[in-house]
């Protein structure tokens, strides 16, 4: 077990700290989780509900042994947008459920053949660069949030984003007590208040409260139950479009577990086992499909929070999941969270995604990977450039992008290149 842990997986903080730490995770995943349904045309509240319930399902299946948070998956956006225009939400729901069933099948295969193959196809020289790609591939999104407004460079946004980032750094390095344990939460609050102040001083509307005023206190998420709402109907296009994408999100799932293994000093591939983590992820996707929400997957943003504050308690993750479920029914609070300015989110994201990337570098250093060996040098180089550059393989409706494609390239190269120069 890592000596840097402040709270281990099974350790529970006192209630006040638990609440703050859980809110911190809620803030970290909120922007991305609600963005997916907005882009697709689904009620963001139902996405919050499904990611909260999906996380609780995942925790239950893995016997509360792995701190993983489920959020809306970006991998399915293109497929969902197409299906929404043709067959509607019922097809999206069926596609999400099918994706979950693919996870179940793979989990059964792994349970049957074991997981000893993982170390053979995912050695440190492959894992380290993949973990770096997971963080660095999100860098442009974080920097864009800080720099741009409506697609144009905005100096005030840059100022707000950097102040938020520096606040996170200062709270993390110099903060005492709760300030040091929750640098993301306090950095976000500081950045939000600073953006509000700058808006008042300059006359710019940086924080928008219109949605908060209009929102009702209690709201029921727009849940779409496929069978009850539409009866039983097969959508072959949805199945053929979304089922293959499950293999893409699986590679991201492997990558996130690798990061958690590195951060905690554990081997979650063995305990609770890859079959359990895949089953939990798949069941969370099925729950999302049943509710008419976007498919969910483990979230790098929340791993970034844990990497920064060294708190890996499953109780904190469960608390964040319960808060997400609660927020989906409270319109005012949900709208308040949506009012967080993009440069504040961007400033926080720079720190989170950077810490994930550094974790990949740490794997290579601890393994003492020899980069004088041409095989190691080429594998790491190709994974980094293809993953960060967003190299995509597109065949018909199937897309294998960024992290997933670079992972496949790394695995293939490690198997076919000779050990000696």
Place of tokens 């809306």: 72
Dist CA 162 CA 147 (whole Å) = 10
> Looking at the domain assignment, is residue 2 inside a domain?
no
The residue-averaged pLDDT of 50-55 equals 95
> Looking at the domain assignment, is residue 10 inside a domain?
no
The 10s digit of each residue's pLDDT in 149-160 is 888 999 999 999
Dihedral over Cα of 100, 102, 108, 111: its sign:
negative
The residue-averaged pLDDT of 92-97 equals 90
Greater pLDDT, 413 or 80: 413
pLDDT of 378 over the 70 cut? yes
The DSSP line for 77-144 is HHHHHHHHHHT-HHHHHHHHHHHHHHHHHHHHHHHHH-STHHHHHS-HHHHHHHHHHHHHTTHHHHHH
Mean pLDDT for the chain overall: 85
- Give the DSSP letter of residue 232: S
The residue-averaged pLDDT of 313-340 equals 88
> Looking at the domain assignment, is residue 322 inside a domain?
yes
> Looking at the domain assignment, is residue 8 inside a domain?
no
> Looking at the domain assignment, is residue 421 inside a domain?
no
pLDDT value at residue 1: 42
pLDDT of 100 over the 60 cut? yes
Tell me the residue range of the domain where 282 lies. Answer: 15-416
Highest mean pLDDT among 82-86, 294-298, 312-316: 312-316
pLDDT value at residue 3: 44
The 10s digit of each residue's pLDDT in 9-29 is 899 999 988 999 999 898 888
The 10s digit of each residue's pLDDT in 340-361 is 888 998 898 888 788 878 878 8
Question: What are the residues whose beta carbons fall under 8 Å from the beta carbon of 177, sequence distance 6 or more?
Answer: none
> Looking at the domain assignment, is residue 239 inside a domain?
yes
Number of independent structural domains in the chain: 1
The DSSP line for 266-314 is --TIIIIIHHHHHHHHHHHHHHHHHHT---EEE-HHHHHHHHHH-B--H
> Looking at the domain assignment, is residue 4 inside a domain?
no
The 10s digit of each residue's pLDDT in 172-221 is 888 877 777 678 778 888 999 999 999 999 888 888 888 888 888 888 88
User: Angle at Cα 170 formed by Cα 166 and Cα 174, nearest 5°?
Assistant: 170
pTM (2 decimals)? 0.74
């Amino acid at each position: 077990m890592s000596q840097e842990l402040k709270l281990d997986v099974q350790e529970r903080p006192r209630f006040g700290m638990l609440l703050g730490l859980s809110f911190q995770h809620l803030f970290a995943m909120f922007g991305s989780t609600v963005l997916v349904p907005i882009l697709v045309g689904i009620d963001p509240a139902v996405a919050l509900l499904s990611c909260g319930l999906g996380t609780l399902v995942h925790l239950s299946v893995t016997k509360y042994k792995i701190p993983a948070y489920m959020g809306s998956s970006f991998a399915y956006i293109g497929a969902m947008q197409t299906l929404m225009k043709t067959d509607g939400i019922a097809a999206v729901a069926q596609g999400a459920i099918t994706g979950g069933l693919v996870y179940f099948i793979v989990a059964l295969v792994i349970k049957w053949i074991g997981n000893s193959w993982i170390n053979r196809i995912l050695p440190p020289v492959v894992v380290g660069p993949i973990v770096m790609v997971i963080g660095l591939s999100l860098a442009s999104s974080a920097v864009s949030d800080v720099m741009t407004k409506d697609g144009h460079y905005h100096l005030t946004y840059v100022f707000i984003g950097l102040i938020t980032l520096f606040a996170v750094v200062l709270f993390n390095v110099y903060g005492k007590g709760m300030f040091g344990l929750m640098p993301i939460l306090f950095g976000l609050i500081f950045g939000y208040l600073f953006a509000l102040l700058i808006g008042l001083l300059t006359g710019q509307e940086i924080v928008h409260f219109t949605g908060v005023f209009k929102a009702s206190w209690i709201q029921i998420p727009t849940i779409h139950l496929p069978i009850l709402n539409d009866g039983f109907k097969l959508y072959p296009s949805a199945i053929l479009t979304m089922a293959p994408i499950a293999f893409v999100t699986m590679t991201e799932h492997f990558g996130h577990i690798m990061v958690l293994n590195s951060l905690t000093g554990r081997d979650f591939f063995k305990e609770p086992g890859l079959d359990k983590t895949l089953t939990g992820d798949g069941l969370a996707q099925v729950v999302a499909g049943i509710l008419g929400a976007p498919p969910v997957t483990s979230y790098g943003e929340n791993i970034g929070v844990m990497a920064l504050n060294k708190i890996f308690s499953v109780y904190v993750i469960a608390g964040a999941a319960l808060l997400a479920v609660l927020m989906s029914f409270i319109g005012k609070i949900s709208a308040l969270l949506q009012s967080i300015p993009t440069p504040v989110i961007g400033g926080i994201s720079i720190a989170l995604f950077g810490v994930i990337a550094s974790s990949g570098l740490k794997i290579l250093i601890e393994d003492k990977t020899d980069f004088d060996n041409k095989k190691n040098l080429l594998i790491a180089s190709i994974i980094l450039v293809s993953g960060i550059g967003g190299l995509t393989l597109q065949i018909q409706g199937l897309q294998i992008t960024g992290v997933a494609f670079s992972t496949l390239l790394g695995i293939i190269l490690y198997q076919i290149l000779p050990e000696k120069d």
